[in-house]
Amino acid sequence: MSTQIKPDPKTKNRSSGERHAYTGPGMIATGEATALLPTETTPPIKVFGTESIRETFDDLCLQQAVNSRLAPGVTDLVLNPDAHCGYGAPVGCVMVSPTHIYPGPVGVDIKCSMSLLQLDLPAEAIEDRKVRRQLISAICQRTPTGAGKGQRSAVKSRHVNRTLGKQLVVEGASDDVCKALGIPTNWAHRCEDSFHVGHDETADALESRLETLLHRRDMTNFTDKMQQLGSYGGGNHFGECEVVEVGDNDRAREVAETFGLHDGKVAFLSHCGSRGFGHILASGQFKSLQTKFDQWGIPLPAGDRQLVYAPLGSGEANDYIDDMSLGANFATVNHLLINALVLEAFQEVFPGVKGNLVYFISHNIARKEIVDDRPAWVHRKGATRAIPGGHHSLRETPFAKSGHPILLPGNPCDGSAVMVADEGAAASCYSVNHGAGRVLGRRHAKRVLDQTTVDSEFESNDVLSNCRKYPIDEAPAAYKDFNEVLRSVKSAGLASEVARLKARFVIKDASKADD
């Protein structure tokens, strides 16, 4: 008998925080911050989170976890502390398959990512609220926000024409692309992946696939989508000015030096992905695979159309990998350009200030990695890679000895964190959470949270924003307790804290917030 649970159509689209009955097996605690979620036909799902964090996993999240674990070809599934219901697979999960590729555990925002820019500017320089307002204005003149916004809405943005757009989605952050956009070429060495290749591990496959896509009806606006390069989207995407607080211990100080983090200095944290271009690619893949399943009569995992898949080596899998890589290359260059524009904005207000990229890392991507001594596709959906020092995959990188930076956004009032993986991360498929994780769905948050209370919290913490009213569905109370999330990661032996980031101002989608 299978424990696959078909989503109730009445509850399938409910957001986190709106519960309904879960009839599957319960979690079994194995430690302070570890547990197992059994299934009846496979090894159990590994769960990371303290008891109070595990209580935030809503029923649909658990259903999606079990359904994903029992899907064809899946050998491992991990739930991180930030887990909540997502698109087919939970947000905050890691899904491993040596034989199949799954769009659901990547999602519609291909390579949604985090990046951190360190500036040589002391925190005291931005104490004055008028100075911060100047910086907000300078950044917003260069980096648009909002779902449909592009370069035309920011007077000092970079122009990207069709030719350069085609080049960058094929090459990623190549030297030529970076030079054309005014991005320091050495920043490519501070990326988890500065470029992605096609299914046959060549850029030629991407170039060929792109030419095919450009003849499709839904890609007629390709040039317009390239105009979104260097911009934030809506929802939970943001730019945030920070003050770095390095941990008060020898390891934190040593690792911070390797990372290029400077205690008491200003930094800038960004969260965004592949924008409209990635959404078109992902949506097209879901529709195409769902049509194939219908035509061929293939049973869907748990009857969930969001868990479609393709066997590796098939034409469908090749097309998905190519499309994902095109979207991922856009996301990479998008982040690097945002950081270049943010640095330019700081230099407008503080002439002569210098900055360097600390790291750029994804949390919505499938990567080919070695798992249990064999190649497999590791799908991280709202999950961040966490590789400790000494691991073979970090050879010839600046982080070979230390492990790479892990960038974890919390919320503007409680701060964010930079962590580094510990040896125990092997238990989680070398992954941790991608942030705090939602505890209230967007509609639920709008119903139960008070705008005045949200705005006064920002005022009391002296955190400014470009929004007249901070988006209530993005309020700190809509997310899990960030300190408890971090305690889960540390107690489970997955990663250690290197630094905290204290927010001084936030750039969000002002169009939605001010409606």
DSSP for 218-265, please give it: GGTTHHHHHTTTT---STT-EEEEEEEEE-SSHHHHHHHHHHT--TTE
The answer to the question of whether 509 is labelled as a binding residue is no
**What are 412's two structure tokens?**
């503007």
Question: If pLDDT is split at 50, 70 and 90, which confidence band does 8 have?
Answer: very low
Residues noted as catalytic: 434
The answer to the question of whether 100 is labelled as a binding residue is no
Lowest mean pLDDT, pick from 58-72, 98-112, 115-129, 144-158? 144-158
Asked if 494 and 422 count as a contact pair (C-beta separation under 8 A), the reply is yes
Q: What is the mean pLDDT of residues 215-226?
A: 94
The pLDDT assigned to 453 comes to 94
Span between the terminal Cα atoms of the chain, in Å: 51
The answer to the question of whether 363 is labelled as a binding residue is yes
For 491, phi then psi, to 5°, come to -65, -30
Residue 18 has pLDDT above 60, yes or no: no
Question: If pLDDT is split at 50, 70 and 90, which confidence band does 60 have?
Answer: very high
The answer to the question of whether 325 is labelled as a binding residue is no
Please state whether the predicted TM-score (pTM) of the whole model is above 0.75. yes
Residue 17 has pLDDT above 60, yes or no: no
The answer to the question of whether 364 is labelled as a binding residue is yes
Complete domains list, the chain, with CATH: 113-513 (3.90.1860.10)
State the Cα–Cα distance between residues 386 and 488, nearest whole angstrom: 15
Q: What is the mean pLDDT of residues 262-284?
A: 97
Give the chain's mean pLDDT: 93
On the 0-12 / 13-18 / 19+ scale of CB atoms within 10 A, 244 is: buried
> Dihedral of CA 29/34/39/43: which sign?
negative
**Tens digits of residue pLDDT in 349-396:** 999 999 999 999 999 999 999 998 899 999 999 999 999 999 999 999
State the Cα–Cα distance between residues 395 and 417, nearest whole angstrom: 25
Give percent above pLDDT 90 in the chain.
88
**What residues are paired with 419 via a beta bridge?**
406, 497
**Tens digits of residue pLDDT in 474-501:** 999 999 999 999 999 999 999 999 999 9
Asked if 229 and 165 count as a contact pair (C-beta separation under 8 A), the reply is yes
Residue 250 has pLDDT above 50, yes or no: yes
The answer to the question of whether 271 is labelled as a binding residue is yes
The pLDDT assigned to 149 comes to 65
**Tens digits of residue pLDDT in 128-182:** 999 999 999 999 999 988 776 666 778 898 999 999 999 999 999 999 999 999 9
The answer to the question of whether 437 is labelled as a binding residue is yes
The answer to the question of whether 237 is labelled as a binding residue is yes
E-only strand ranges, 85-199: 91-97, 100-101, 113-122
**What are 185's two structure tokens?**
């070429």
